[in-house]
Structure formats: structure tokens, C-alpha cells
Chains A and B, each alone.
Chain A
Amino acid sequence: MEKKSNELAVKLGNKLKKNLQFELFLIPALFFYTLFIIVPLFQGFGYSVTNLHIKTRATDFVGLKNFIDILGDDIIKNSISFTFMYTLATVVLVTAAAIPLALVFDANSHTKNLQRAIFYFPSCVSALIMGFTWRYLLSSDDGGFVNSIIINVFHGHSVNWLSDPVIAQLSNVLVCIWIASGWNATIYLAYLQSIPHEYYEAAYIDGASYIQRVRHITLPLLAPAMTISVMTLLTGGLKLYELPYALTDGGPMRVTHTFTHAIVVRGITEGNYGRASALAVVLFIIIMVFTYVQVSVMSKREEKAY
């Protein structure tokens, strides 16, 4: 009995030693992660309850005043509604575009690889560059590329793509679909190719049509891909900054101001660090809650599929 417990202690000690060896390698990574991520994060939490301003440099504790002031801040109303509209629209529309795209990429066509490469390409380039390019192509006068096509080919009226308050928001969504659908289709394609062919063959023999096979085999088995793709779209949409900055510069009349844009305006442009930190804390909480709910709901859906 005693011998056995001795052996156990030695085994445990060996395991600890072995693990410790590996965990020592964590220290440098942990050090830098703490220094550059964790410390600034908590500093931000700290600043959000002070009146830190670039002019006064005072850090007096003001409690929740910053958070209460956010509610009455007119810059926030636009940015919250646009950010949520954009996020919802891109999650739904990019997913709706990416799944059919993935199915098409998976089918056997002559230019399959060319199509995949071309659709993936926009996500390799900075969204800033794509935004400036589309700003030029969509420019609202009759000389804009898209407008000149509408006028000369379809004999329609020119559209104020970037200066009409509603259409400017839609233009941002459209350009995002243009950028993101290929990248998301690639994720779906990877999971699509891991679905065993036997399922389709069995369904084919049982007389299932193509639509039925997609509906009852492909879509349920794509659930893990959908969790990842929707999560990246959700977090990317909520912390959106550079695309509307390049495309519409927050205008017209601030309707395409995003949440991050508001943080930058309050913090870096105006130097009101306390208010900006409070905004950042609110955005942090929003993203955390949304992502947590989304991942837990969609993971349950994954389990149901298998």
C-alpha cells in the first residue's frame, strides 16, 4: 500500500516536471501578452471612470459619469444604429452569398481554380485600398464608373451611391459583400470537401433531388463552418473602421460613422480620453456578449447536426 502511493507520488512528480518544462516556454509569450494586451486593457477600464483629457491631464475619479454621458451623446446614436445595421446585413448577406459560392466552387467546371483564386483575392488587399478604389468607382456624379454603366448600358438614372444617407450605408454593405464573400466561401468550401461522398451517393440512390441533398446533407454538415464564418463577420462588423473611413469618411451627415469611428473622434481627435475609454469598454462588452451568445447557440446547432 505504502509502496503504491510512493510510486504514485514519483509518477506525479515526473509528470509535473515534464509539464513544467513545457510551461516555462510560455513565460516569454505570457510576458509580452500581458504587457501589450492585458495591461492596456485594464488601463482602459481604469481611464473610463476618470475625466482624463488631453488638455487637463487630470485623472480624477468621476464614477459612471462617462457612461451616463454616452447615452446623451449624439455622435453615438448614428454610430450604434449604423454599426448594428451593417453587422446584421453583412452577416446575413455574406453568408447567403458565400454558401452558394462554395457549392459552385465545389462543382466541376472548366475554370474552377481561376474562379476560386479571383474570389479569394479581394480579402488579401487592405480594406482601406479597396475602400478608396470603390469610392472612385462609385462617385456620385455622372462620371463615376458604376453610374456611367447605369446611364449608358441600362439607360437609367445616376444613383447617389455615397451622398444619399440611406444608399451610402448600403454601399458600405455592398463593398463588404464584394470583399468578404470569397474569403468566407473558402471556409465553407474547406468543410464542404470534408463531407463524405457516401452520404450523397446514398441520398442519390434513395431518389433525393439536388435541392434535397443540399438542404438535408450539406447545410446541416456545414454548421461548424458557419459558426466560424459568422463569428468573424460579427466581430469584424462590430469593430468596423477602415472601410467606411475610406469609402464615405463617415459622411454624409455622419450616417456611416461606426462605433470605432466614434471612439477615434472622441479620443484621438478631441483628446477626451475618459469618454473614449468608456465607449471602448461598452464596445468590448457588446462584442463579448454577442460573440458568446452566437458561438454558444451555433455550437448547440453543430451538436444537433451530428
Chain B
Amino acid sequence: MKKRKNFFIDLIMLPLCLIIVYPFFFIVSTSLKPPSEVASNPFGLTLNLTLNNYLYVFENVPILRAFFNNVIITTSSVALIVIFGTRLYSIGIS
């Protein structure tokens, strides 16, 4: 019972996907706009792009430090979970 590809499903699902994607598009597009553009045209596309916001973040926010903290917490907790968790598992089946 090989199913045929259903074009109707794509037709319904792609608009729904747009609803899911739009807030992420909004985050990215706002991050690339200069402040004047954010005020005049907050939601749409623009060609007036800038990387100044990213420069500002790297200069004024300790973002590398924050990211490093996340990396430390994630790696150490994953390592401990793998070590202790697999031990628990081997007791479970022995």
C-alpha cells in the first residue's frame, strides 16, 4: 500500500508553516535593521540592512562569557548524566 504524494496536504500545511516561521523571521530581520527602519517598518522586509546591532552586542554585552557559561553547564551535565545514567540502566537489565 504505497501512498501517493499528496499535494493537497502541502497546500494546507505551508501557510501554517508560515505562521510558525514568521516570529523567527521577525527576530532575524529586526536584528539586521538599523533603528530608524525598526521604527518605520517593523514587520516587513527591507534592503537597508546593517550589522551594527551585532557589533553593539559583542562590544557591550558579555555574550561570549554567557555562551561559555551555557557550554560549561551543558557539557558537564551531559557528561554526568551519561556516566551515572548508563550505570543505572545496566543495573536495570542485569
Residue ranges of A at the interface with B (Cβ–Cβ < 8 Å): 18-19, 22-23, 25-26, 28-29, 32, 104, 107-111, 114-115, 118-119, 121-122, 125, 129-130, 133-134, 136-137, 143, 145, 148, 178, 182, 197, 200-201, 204
Contacts and interface: CB of A to CB of B under 8 A. Distances in A.
Interface residues of B, number: 28
A137 B26 CA distance: 9
B51 interface: no
Contacts of B65: none
Given A22-B91, A121-B20, A133-B27, A104 B43 contact: no
Given A22-B90, A104-B12, 17 more contacts: A22-B91, A23-B91, A28-B84, A29-B80, A29-B87, A29-B88, A109-B5, A111-B10, A111-B13, A111-B14, A114-B17, A119-B20, A130-B23, A137-B26, A145-B26, A182-B20, A204-B1
Contacts of A25: 84, 87
B13 A108 contact: no
Given A29-B84, A137-B26, A108 B5 contact: yes
Contacts of B10: 109-111
B26 A133 contact: yes
B64 interface: no
Contacts of B91: 19, 22-23, 26
B6 A109 contact: yes
A133 to B, nearest CB: 5
Contacts of A28: 84
Q: Determine chain A's interface SS by DSSP, over half rule.
A: helix
B23 A104 contact: no
Interface string B13-45: 110010111011011000000000000001100
B7 interface: yes
Contacts of B20: 118-119, 121-122, 178, 182
Contact of B1 (A109, A122, A133, A200): A200
Nearest to A33: B84
Contacts of B26: 133, 136-137, 145
A141 to B, nearest CB: 12
A121 B19 CA distance: 12
Contacts of B13: 104, 109, 111, 115
B81 to A, nearest CB: 9
